[in-house]
Chains A and B, each alone.
Chain A
Amino acid sequence: TLKTLISKMNPI
């Protein structure tokens, strides 16, 4: 899903 995709972006 889009949310899962977003959650993998811009890691700390």
Chain B
Amino acid sequence: IEIDSKTQAVLDRKNYRLLEKLSQGSFGEVYKGEFKIDHRLVAIKILDISKMSMKFKERYVARELKALIECRHLNVVQIYDIIRSNNRLYIFMEYCSNGTLTMFIKKFGACSESLARIWFRQLVDALLYIHTELKMAHRDIKFDNVLLDEKFNVKLTDFGFAKELAWNDNKQQLELTATICGTEPFMCPQLVQRRPYNPMKADVWAMGVLLFGLLNGRFPFNWADPSLMLKEQTNYPKFIRSVSKNTISEEANDLIAKILDPDEQTRITVLEISKHLWLK
């Protein structure tokens, strides 16, 4: 890996060794690394601060990223350290050896209901912690942001990040940038319409898309066409019931339908999801 001397100095000071590149994003890249003291593997996200919006810089670089270090949950990717140097942000975090849920589903297709139940319960637990303990919304729940550790436990990563990058404060709407395109399938009707929305309920919606995807091996709505997607989302609950595989239990379909409620007011909360019959 080509690495400049300042970056190398940061890594040396913190006792990390950089290994191969894991992924490339629009505003940075993720490397695999090793903590030299105990040979533990870590993921190192390197973000280019000059490519970030002013709002992102103000909100996260200074304060809120520090709060993420305090976040401790079995099903949330732990952040060990955050360093700002050489106009870059270095985020040292837990390494998950089995990749993302996207990779898993692309390889193996839909999950059995029992596996989906285990993973979904873990994710609900993580989100409940983020919503109630940290009083934050994740804002970018998607298969790419669910990682699998060496024991195949799911871990939620990247919260509070991507959405903020694409939020335009002056226009009060989301920017149609490349970063947002990949997240389209997980958008609730309010986001599709670029209307003000409750971020916690938007997280809940994305969890519904996730659960549907786990059980069906596909996305519920036609996200490539936003107006068609909105039609499908608001044809409720007829549409969502009609596209679910007929092998899926009534309890699972009931939970999916309660989550993918286009009306924010009546859409269930994470706490209510955790008490649903299917998760008992």
Binding site for B on A (CB under 8 A): 3, 6-12
The reply to whether B105 and A10 contact each other, CB–CB distance below 8 Å, is no
The reply to whether A10 and B246 contact each other, CB–CB distance below 8 Å, is no
From B106, B143, B222, B245, A10 is in contact (CB under 8 Å) with: B222
Q: What chain A residues lie within 8 Å of B246 (beta carbons)?
A: 3
- A-B CB contact pairs (8 Å), 16 listed: A3-B245, A3-B246, A6-B243, A7-B217, A7-B218, A8-B218, A9-B222, A10-B218, A10-B220, A10-B221, A10-B222, A11-B219, A12-B105, A12-B106, A12-B143, A12-B217
Known: A12-B105, A12-B106, A12-B143. A7 touches B219 (CB 8 A): no
* Residues in B184-206 with C-beta less than 8 Å from chain A: 185
Q: What chain B residues lie within 8 Å of A3 (beta carbons)?
A: 245-246
B216 at the interface (CB under 8 A from A): yes
Q: What chain A residues lie within 8 Å of B245 (beta carbons)?
A: 3, 7
B223 at the interface (CB under 8 A from A): yes
* Residues in B216-240 with C-beta less than 8 Å from chain A: 216-223
Q: What chain B residues lie within 8 Å of A7 (beta carbons)?
A: 216-218, 245
The reply to whether A12 and B243 contact each other, CB–CB distance below 8 Å, is no
Identify which of A6, A8, A12 gathers the most chain B CB atoms within 10 Å of its CB.
A12
Q: What chain A residues lie within 8 Å of B217 (beta carbons)?
A: 7, 12
- Cβ distance A9 to chain B, nearest Cβ, rounded Å: 7
CA distance A9 to B221 in the complex (A): 9
B208 at the interface (CB under 8 A from A): no
B213 at the interface (CB under 8 A from A): yes
- Cβ distance A3 to chain B, nearest Cβ, rounded Å: 7
- Cβ distance A7 to chain B, nearest Cβ, rounded Å: 7
The reply to whether B102 and A12 contact each other, CB–CB distance below 8 Å, is yes
- Cβ distance B250 to chain A, nearest Cβ, rounded Å: 17
CA distance A3 to B102 in the complex (A): 23
CA distance A9 to B219 in the complex (A): 8
6 new A-B contacts, CB < 8 A, other than A9-B222, A12-B105, are: A9-B218, A10-B185, A10-B220, A10-B223, A12-B213, A12-B217
